[in-house]
Amino acid sequence: MRKMLTIISNVLRGSASRNGARLVVSARTYADFTPQASFDIKNCDVHKLEEGPPLQAVLTREEGLQYYRTMQTIRRMELKADQLYKQKIIRGFCHLYDGQEACAVGIEAGIKRSDHLITAYRAHGYTYTRGGTVREIMAELTGRRGGIAKGKGGSMHMYTKHFYGGNGIVGAQVPLGAGVALACKYLGKNELCVCLYGDGAANQGQIFETYNMASLWKLPCIFICENNQYGMGTSVERAAASTDYYKRGDFIPGLRVDGMDVLCVREATKFAAEHCKSGKGPILMELLTYRYHGHSMSDPGVSYRTREEIQEVRSKSDPITLLKDRMLSNNMVSVEELKEIDVEVRKEIEDAAQFATTDPEPPLEELCNHIFYNEPPMKVRGISPWIKLKSVS
């Protein structure tokens, strides 16, 4: 019976795709696919904690599809940005996130949309998981008026609700995030703030000042160090006296997590969120991850690491492949279904790129806008004394 249904569905799917219609695969859902499965996940090293997150994670089919789609979207969006940068349509700084998708997606899965998040400049993935659309992200990269920041910010300065960027100064986002957490506590909202930083930023003094105050005042923040092994061109061993980033909060409990496994990240985030919201104060997570691209588009990424290393990570630990293999081997999804998602994602990215390259740049009349908030219109001095430009809030 099952086999027959499968055959019928395959036929239906085949004909539907030829017609260009999208066949909903629910015909197969209840009959063929495993609705959910439990997976073993890696143990987390802990610091000043009695126990870590659970060693097993339950993944439902819906969740799996959503994580897959989101990670694939981020992956393709970043690769498209790479392309556009090489065509000089994106300028300046462009720090790509491909390889690290499991972090952004896993974290978002472990918190609520009403929680808060702040990160540094490798932010496109987070802008997406926090509610930005691919269209407005790409249009911001190309500096157009349809960009998420109206073309005024670029790659490193994207904001959405409860997402505070996108920050260009290494380490600065960490005290900012603790400040957001202070506001959460002050306003009694039972929300938390996720403060992300990299292995390079982990040596910044202001981060230690923040650890101190966050701990002293029991601020609800989750400090997350995305350790992708390299701070620009400097490997972790050459930058840090201690590479146990999860321990560097000292009095702050910490855990080290496999950042290539979206389920591991999710479970650890849930664990951390609980810790925070129970009033115990901050907690630190180190995510072991990897970036395929160099530090930014100006860095080929091979002068300080070998191509073999990059290739090895890609073949053995790619986060999207990991999830895909898990789902396929547990019959949670079919190859065709995933391919379909890939096609849809590709289309979404293409459309967004099309928009991002054709949308006009912001109008010159708006050059001086948004200096102040809630301010009556004012004049701004232009390039020469005879030019007075208009500025509205």
Partner 1 sequence: MHNSLDPRQRTQSNMAYLRSILRSGKNAVPAVLRREFHRTLQAAMQVTVRDAIKEAMDEELERDERVFLLGEEVALFEGAYKVTRGLWKKYGDKRIIDTPIAEIGFTGIAVGAAMAGLRPVVEYMSFNFSMQSVDHIINSAAKTYYMSGGLQPVSIVFRGPNGAAPGVAAQHAQCFAAWYGHVPGLKVVSPWSAEDAKGLLKSAIRDDNPVVFLENEIMYGVPFEMSEESQSKDFLIPIGKAKIERKGNHVTLVSHSHVVSRCMDAAAVLAKDGIECEVINLRTIRPMDMEAIETSVLKTKHLITVEGGWPQFGVGGEILARIMEGPGFGYLNAPAVRVTGVDIPMPYAKLLEENTLPQIKDIVFSVKKMLNV
Helices (H), the chain: 2-19, 26-32, 61-86, 101-110, 124-129, 134-141, 173-186, 205-216, 236-239, 262-275, 307-317, 319-329, 335-358
Q: What is the three-class DSSP state of 318?
A: coil
Q: Read off the tokens for 363.
A: 């109008």
Q: Read off the tokens for 232.
A: 């620009």
Euclidean distance between CA atoms 167 and 109, whole angstroms = 23
The interface region with partner 1, picked from 172-180, 251-259, 264-272, 285-293 by CB under 8 A, is: 172-180
Q: How far is the CB of 180 from partner 1 (least distance, A)?
A: 4
- Asked if residue 151 binds partner 1 (CB under 8 A), the reply is yes
- Asked if residue 334 binds partner 1 (CB under 8 A), the reply is no
Q: How far is the CB of 235 from partner 1 (least distance, A)?
A: 26
- Asked if residue 127 binds partner 1 (CB under 8 A), the reply is no
Q: What is the three-class DSSP state of 143?
A: coil
Binder among 64, 110, 179, 254 for partner 1 (CB under 8 A): 179
Euclidean distance between CA atoms 279 and 294, whole angstroms = 39
Binder among 110, 143, 175, 253 for partner 1 (CB under 8 A): 175
- Asked if residue 143 binds partner 1 (CB under 8 A), the reply is no
Euclidean distance between CA atoms 25 and 127, whole angstroms = 30
The interface region with partner 1, picked from 62-70, 209-217, 321-329, 350-358 by CB under 8 A, is: 209-217
Tell me, what DSSP letter sits at residue 242? -
Window 60-119: residues binding partner 1 (CB under 8 A): 116, 118
User: Of the candidates 116, 104, 248, which has an alpha carbon nearest to the alpha carbon of residue 177?
Assistant: 116
Number of residues in contact with partner 1, rule: CB under 8 A? 51
Q: Read off the tokens for 112.
A: 């609520």
Q: How far is the CB of 377 from partner 1 (least distance, A)?
A: 13
Q: How far is the CB of 184 from partner 1 (least distance, A)?
A: 7
The interface region with partner 1, picked from 56-64, 89-97, 337-345, 368-376 by CB under 8 A, is: 368-376
What sign for the dihedral angle of Cα 53, 57, 58, 62?
positive
Tell me, what DSSP letter sits at residue 160? B
Q: How far is the CB of 245 from partner 1 (least distance, A)?
A: 19
- Asked if residue 233 binds partner 1 (CB under 8 A), the reply is no
The interface region with partner 1, picked from 5-13, 142-150, 240-248, 343-351 by CB under 8 A, is: 142-150
- Asked if residue 59 binds partner 1 (CB under 8 A), the reply is no
Binder among 92, 131, 375, 390 for partner 1 (CB under 8 A): 375
- Asked if residue 281 binds partner 1 (CB under 8 A), the reply is no
Q: How far is CA 267 from the centre of its chain?
A: 16
Euclidean distance between CA atoms 147 and 144, whole angstroms = 5
- Asked if residue 251 binds partner 1 (CB under 8 A), the reply is no
Q: Residue 178: what residue type?
A: A
- Asked if residue 177 binds partner 1 (CB under 8 A), the reply is yes
> For partner 1, which is the closer residue by CB, 354 or 393?
393
Q: How far is the CB of 362 from partner 1 (least distance, A)?
A: 8
Q: How far is CA 302 from the centre of its chain?
A: 24
Euclidean distance between CA atoms 52 and 43, whole angstroms = 8
Euclidean distance between CA atoms 249 and 56, whole angstroms = 27
- Asked if residue 182 binds partner 1 (CB under 8 A), the reply is yes
Interface contacts to partner 1, rule CB under 8 A:
116, 118, 147-153, 157, 159-160, 164-165, 167-169, 172, 174-184, 186-187, 193, 205-206, 209-210, 212-213, 216-217, 369-375, 378, 380, 385, 393
